[in-house]
Amino acid sequence: MKFQKLLYLLTFLSIVVMATRVSVASDTFWHLRAGDWIVEHGQILREDPFSLTRFGETWRYPGWLAQVLMISSYRLLGFPGLNIFTTVFVLIGLAFTWRAMKGSDFARVTVLLLAAITSAVYWSARPHIMTFALTGLVLYVLEDYRNRERNRLWILPLGMALWGNLHGGFAAGFILILLYLVGEILEAGIEIIKARMNLGEALRSHQRATVNYAGFGLLSAIALSINPHGPRMILYPFTTIGIESLRDYIQEWQSPNFHEPQVYPFLFSLLLLLLVFAATKKRVAAHEYLATATFLVLALTAGRNIALYALVVSPVLSRHLSSSLEPLAVRFQNRDEFDPTLAGRLNLALLFLCLFPALIKISYPLNPEVNREALGEQFPYGAVEFIKSTEPEGPMFNSYNWGAFIIWELYPEYRSFVDGRTDLFNDEILLAYLSAWRGESGWEEFLDQWGIKIVFVEPEAPLRHKLLQSGWMSIYEDEQA
């Protein structure tokens, strides 16, 4: 086995080890319940059947196909199946990003592992991971056309048609297409300004690429309309980001906190980018500046976009890191070679040496008992079992973080008051919920408005103390709920 092949195998083995973990997040549960409903009823959800406060309201969510895939994974293998589901789409996203990169093996491996570490905190079993995978696909297609002149842009409309049925993050794909289009136009302008070409020559030189980007971008927008909700789904991302409470109170939609260790790889990636831009021997192309700056702004605006930034910046980093290190690589190049047969055997032995502990690590989150223990620490199973056994009278007011869990465990006997479907609840319900959870003035009238008879919140919730002071009874309590 050649060393290059060993390096590639160990790189992707490392990614599998990182990605295979207990990946269930709070939102996972409402996606599972929605997928279960779709499969049982044989139709797409168009109205909300799961909540108290939005029951019967129109609900248009673009991820129905992802939800079907998720519930299928769960029915097949339980929670370990969801961990495999996450790993598969992480691998797809990073594999396409790997194909999009140019440069030395050292640069590509380094950058890919940095991208994996930077984005890892956002890997979880929910449709967002499919946006991660499809962003890698779009990046590969665009880079392949831009740098290798392989015209596979026809894949973009097909990808968008699929994306519009998997997750609302398809805006990232359109942003990339637009940036490469604008980059092409800017390149023509730069050549005119620097007198490398006259106007006619510059237009002819960049006309084909510009027309292709624009044409396939338009076809992608049309293809996106192939979903159960039609062309209106194009506006979905704008509706979501317009929710004020989403930006103000939900952590992944807020700017990253650089005091948290999980954000350090993102910070390191940014510093490395500045260094390679300063040291590279190659010219930084217009689309590279545009893509880096745009996705950096998106990442600084909302932490969940760090994962997409890590992918988009990877081809830029690998190309210019390789260029920056080229003089060093030439200087320290080792011209002495091992015997090929001996080297091959040593590489194979090293692979098997690494494979054994990797398989042990991978098998751990595939154990159902490990998943049960991990989820038991994160979610209030004790309180849910109490509710199932005693069946206290509803309706229920619940903590936002547990709404999806309630939908999964207690529906249809109990409906969530709020849950992670912010596009459904919007500011009207979410802000009123937050005010009540804090025990602010008017909380009693708000609970009376919805006929609330049972409240399911964290022990530290201010509302809990207000309830006890007002004569409510505590019928269950543990460290979680």
Burial label for 244, CB within 10 Å (0-12, 13-18, 19+), is: exposed
| pLDDT beyond 70 at 336 | no
pLDDT value at residue 240: 74
CB 388, CB 375: distance < 8 Å: no
Each residue of 190-233: pLDDT tens digit?
A: 887 876 777 777 777 788 889 999 999 999 999 999 999 888 88
Mean pLDDT along residues 414-427: 91
pLDDT band at residue 4 under the 50/70/90 scheme: confident
pLDDT value at residue 298: 94
Ramachandran assignment for 455, one of left (phi > 0), alpha (psi -120 to 50 degrees), beta (any other): beta
One-character DSSP codes across 123-142: --SSTHHHHHHHHHHHHHHH
Identity of residue 345:
R
**Preceding omega of 256 cis (within 30 degrees of 0):** no
CB 356, CB 311: distance < 8 Å: no
What's the whole-number average pLDDT of the chain? 91
Query: In the 8-state DSSP scheme, what is residue 50?
Result: S
Give the range among 42-46, 47-51, 198-202 with minimum mean pLDDT: 198-202
Mean pLDDT along residues 407-412: 96
| Closest to 62 measured CA to CA, from 233, 250, 181 | 233
Identity of residue 81:
G
CB 397, CB 436: distance < 8 Å: yes
Residues 221 and 173: their CA atoms lie apart, in Å, by 10
pLDDT value at residue 428: 85
pLDDT band at residue 331 under the 50/70/90 scheme: low
More confident residue, 281 or 344: 281
Mean pLDDT along residues 9-28: 95
C-alpha distances (whole Å) from 137 to each of 171, 206, 236, 299, 463 are: 14, 24, 21, 19, 47
Each residue of 94-134: pLDDT tens digit?
A: 999 999 999 999 999 999 999 999 999 899 999 999 999 99
pLDDT value at residue 383: 96
Place of tokens 């406060």: 53
Query: Strand, coil or helix: what is 285?
Result: coil
pLDDT band at residue 334 under the 50/70/90 scheme: low
Mean pLDDT along residues 388-394: 94
| Closest to 285 measured CA to CA, from 305, 250, 308, 315 | 315
Place of tokens 């807020």: 254
Place of tokens 């609900």: 59
pLDDT value at residue 44: 94
Q: What percent of the chain has pLDDT over 70?
A: 96
Q: What percent of the chain has pLDDT over 90?
A: 75
Query: Strand, coil or helix: what is 333?
Result: coil
pLDDT value at residue 141: 97
Among 133-137, 148-152, 245-249, 344-348, which range has the highest average pLDDT? 133-137
Helix (H) or strand (E) holding 466: helix 462-469
Other Cβ atoms within 10 Å of 469 Cβ, number: 9
Helix (H) or strand (E) holding 259: none
pLDDT band at residue 330 under the 50/70/90 scheme: low
Q: From the CA atom positions of the chain, what is the Rg in Å?
A: 25
| pLDDT beyond 80 at 463 | yes
One-character DSSP codes across 184-216: HHHHHHHHHHTTSS-HHHHHHHHHHHHHHHHHH
CA 204 to chain centre: 39
Identity of residue 246:
L
pLDDT value at residue 351: 83
Identity of residue 105:
D
Each residue of 239-290: pLDDT tens digit?
A: 777 777 766 767 787 889 888 999 999 999 999 999 999 999 999 999 999 9
Q: Give the pair of three-digit tokens for residue 479.
A: 């460290």
| pLDDT beyond 70 at 360 | yes
Verdict on whether the full-model pTM lies above 0.85: yes
